[in-house]
Amino acid sequence: MKSKKSKVIAISIFFFLCGSFCYITNSEKEEEQLVILNEDVLETNISKLPEEQAKEKIYVHICGAVVNPGVYELEQGARVYEGIQMAGGMLEDAAKDSMNQAAVLTDGERFYVSTVSEIEQGREVPEIESVEDTRVNINTASKEELMTLPGIGESKAESVIQYREEHGEFKEVEELTSIPGIKSGVFEKIKELVRIR
């Protein structure tokens, strides 16, 4: 009986040890897999950071009463004061209060810092100008230029010029609807293609 009990105990101990060994081995493998998985996730997140943090660049021409006029690269959403700082700051005679330094700059713009004397003499240059404005200036356009607009033929172009000669410069583009032949339908087609300055 004792030998049978000893065998049973020995077998029980053997299976217990085998079970413990398997459990420990599996636990270690799971921990290794978890570590590898965490490292992969961390690596993926780190690789994404530069892309997510990278901001689009804009190029702005800062000129006028600044130390170093020129074209500067800024981050999208940059303010006027940041552009001025890039250009070395304003000169002593700059009209500092004549501009909105909190305005947002956009790609391709030209920002001009006026001097006090320019403003006093009424020669202030617009702060921000588009590098390329392809809209037709209805106050200076020739007949041929006016005819490039949709719905404006020779007779309508001549009417625009005649109206301009009789009434002086257009004060706003909506005045075009006062010209015979240019009604709301035609005006809707051209209102975004014309300017008065």
176 shares a domain with 144:
yes
107 shares a domain with 91:
yes
126 shares a domain with 62:
yes
62 shares a domain with 102:
yes
145 shares a domain with 80:
no
120 shares a domain with 93:
yes
Range of the domain at 150: 136-195
44 shares a domain with 6:
yes
pLDDT tens for the chain, residues 1 to 197: 545 555 556 566 656 555 555 555 555 555 555 444 445 544 555 454 444 445 788 989 998 889 999 889 999 889 999 999 999 999 999 888 888 888 889 888 888 898 888 877 765 455 444 445 688 999 999 999 999 999 899 999 999 999 999 989 999 989 999 998 888 888 998 988 998 87
Residue 162, CA distances (Å) to 142, 166, 176, 188 in order: 11, 6, 12, 21
Amino acid at 162: Q
Q: Provide the number of structural domains found in the chain.
A: 3
What pLDDT does residue 15 have? Answer: 60
61 shares a domain with 122:
yes
